Amino acid sequence: MSRLVTRDPIDVARLTMEISDAGRGGTVVFLGSVRRSAEDGPVTEIEYAGYEEMLSRELAQILDEAHARWPNAACAAQHRLGVVPVGEPSIAILAAAPHRAAAFDACRFIIEAAKRRLPVWKHEHFENGTSQWREA
Amino acid sequence: MSRLVTRDPIDVARLTMEISDAGRGGTVVFLGSVRRSAEDGPVTEIEYAGYEEMLSRELAQILDEAHARWPNAACAAQHRLGVVPVGEPSIAILAAAPHRAAAFDACRFIIEAAKRRLPVWKHEHFENGTSQWREA
Amino acid sequence: MVFSYRLGPASAVITVHCRFFARYAEVLGRDSLELRLAAPASVADAVRELRTTLDRGAHLPERPLAAVNREHVPLEHALADGDELALLPPLAGG
Amino acid sequence: MVFSYRLGPASAVITVHCRFFARYAEVLGRDSLELRLAAPASVADAVRELRTTLDRGAHLPERPLAAVNREHVPLEHALADGDELALLPPLAGG
């Protein structure tokens, strides 16, 4: 199985393969990407820092909770840390199930829990050389 | 832009690129795949047949409706026709938006409308050489 | 092949291009035909005519899904000369 | 570095490994320390001690997010000797 935390680009195709199965007809993938919004100013890059031991543990637990609620679904997740260029995903959540409703619900459950519980922070670097921690 | 209907394997990575943008931080992808369930028996392949002119028109209209409801979202969709091996997607729906709620909602809206409205039928081929049209 | 239907001297006649898909095409042994109908005619009128005049036409449901000119329509939809009428088995796309 | 806290002759003493992340580590100029506390002590007690004894400790919020042994806990959570206590700035993952 893929690691839950990576410092490399997230390989979505590989994660999709991991949860694919002839019995699971619906697959939902969520990709959360570094977004450059108007109020951000000239961000050159964003660095994701995490409390890594807790991050892996918490993400594994969220996946366990999803499995308990949707036993027929297969789920996978990966969070990227380190510098993530604008436009590339920092998190990928995948859920495959025999029917699409469970796949959508499980995927949504996992990303909502991840946003609420994963110990990760964003360090923004600006063109003028300064940087700051972004509060969610 | 990609065609809405294809007879080749769906290139999910390419579709994802099409709707990616630095301003859209949440991307949701739905893949509907040929499923082999217990009651199906030994299906060797499934052929998707469509009323092609209407299929393209209807899928384009569904995307327009999604755009009207979620103007900040970028959506894409592709339906595959012809023989689709078990496990490969017959349909892909993608929605990217600044925030994940809109991406989830738009993606779900499109697949539900597609299931209800697209003129497509499945022809199942069995190991014993027979075949039948599957009623949804 | 052209089927005519109740044509009296005072009736206007329309021709509708009918298309059949999937199981309907298989059952009927064809995927299209030209149907002549006395105007005014609805989709339901066309279906009734097809069910009574075609070989194995009775295998079509009385109330199939229908599309006219590539748009879903209810059975009450009024047909016009030159319309493309498609009878759609239960959809199984996606 | 070890900080002691209200140690009377009858008190048991526990040592908690404190970790700071992101903005908290930046503000405090450190990412960990060992904190000695008189038992019983809650996470809230530890936070109070850190806020009053550390340089720039007052920059920590009175009620930060906290995790003990890598699990989210409420501020009332009772600390045990050897626990790892992490103070977490508002989460921004995903």
pLDDT tens readout for residues D17-70: 999 999 999 999 999 999 999 999 999 999 999 999 999 999 999 999 999 999
Smallest Cα distance from A75 to chain D, Å: 16
Smallest Cα distance from B30 to chain C, Å: 10
Contact across the interface for A57 and D71, Cβ inside 8 Å: yes
C: neighbours with 3+ CB pairs under 8 Å?
B
* Lowest mean pLDDT segment, chosen from B35-49, B62-76, B93-107, C34-48: B35-49
Residue with tokens 């998190």: A91
Angle at B31 between CA B135 and CA B41, to 5 degrees: 40
Report the residue from B111, B117, B122 with minimal CB separation from C92. Answer: B122
**Chain B residue numbers touching A24 (CB-CB < 8 A):** 33, 35
B: neighbours with 3+ CB pairs under 8 Å?
A, C
Tokens of C61: 């449901």
Smallest Cα distance from D34 to chain A, Å: 18
A: neighbours with 3+ CB pairs under 8 Å?
B, D
* Lowest mean pLDDT segment, chosen from A30-44, B51-65, C2-16, C51-65: C2-16
- In angstroms, the CA C40 to CA C34 distance is 17
Report the residue from C22, C70, C90 with minimal CB separation from B49. Answer: C22
Listed in sequence order, the residues at least 6 apart from D83 whose beta carbon sits closer than 8 Å to its beta carbon are D14, D16, D17, D68, D69
Contact across the interface for D70 and A115, Cβ inside 8 Å: no
- Compute the mean pLDDT over every residue in chain A, rounded to the nearest whole number: 91
Instruction: Please check the confidence at residue C3 and state whether its pLDDT lies above 70.
Output: no
Contact across the interface for B33 and A20, Cβ inside 8 Å: yes
Interface of B to C at Cβ within 8 Å reads 32, 48-51, 53-55, 57-58, 79, 90-91, 111, 114-123, 133-136
Report the residue from D21, D23, D26 with minimal CB separation from A119. Answer: D21
Cβ contact C–D (≥3 pairs, < 8 Å): no
The DSSP code sequence of A45-92 is EEEEEE-HHHHHHHHHHHHHHHHHH-TT-EEEEEEE-EEE-TTSEEEE
Instruction: Please check the confidence at residue D10 and state whether its pLDDT lies above 70.
Output: no
Contact across the interface for B22 and A29, Cβ inside 8 Å: no
pLDDT at A36: 67
Reported ipTM: 0.88
pLDDT tens readout for residues A6-27: 999 999 999 998 998 878 889 9
Contact across the interface for A122 and D72, Cβ inside 8 Å: no
Rg (CA), chain C: 13
Instruction: Please check the confidence at residue B102 and state whether its pLDDT lies above 60.
Output: yes
Share of chain B above pLDDT 90, in %: 70
Smallest Cα distance from D66 to chain A, Å: 10
Cβ contact A–D (≥3 pairs, < 8 Å): yes
SS3 sequence, chain B? CCCCEECCCCCHHHHHHHHCCCCCCEEEEEEEECCCCHHHCCEEEEEEEECHHHHHHHHHHHHHHHHHHCCCCEEEEEEECEEECCCCEEEEEEEEECCHHHHHHHHHHHHHHHHHHCCEEEEEEECCCCEEEECC
Instruction: Please check the confidence at residue D4 and state whether its pLDDT lies above 90.
Output: no
Smallest Cα distance from B75 to chain A, Å: 14
Angle at A14 between CA A10 and CA A16, to 5 degrees: 100
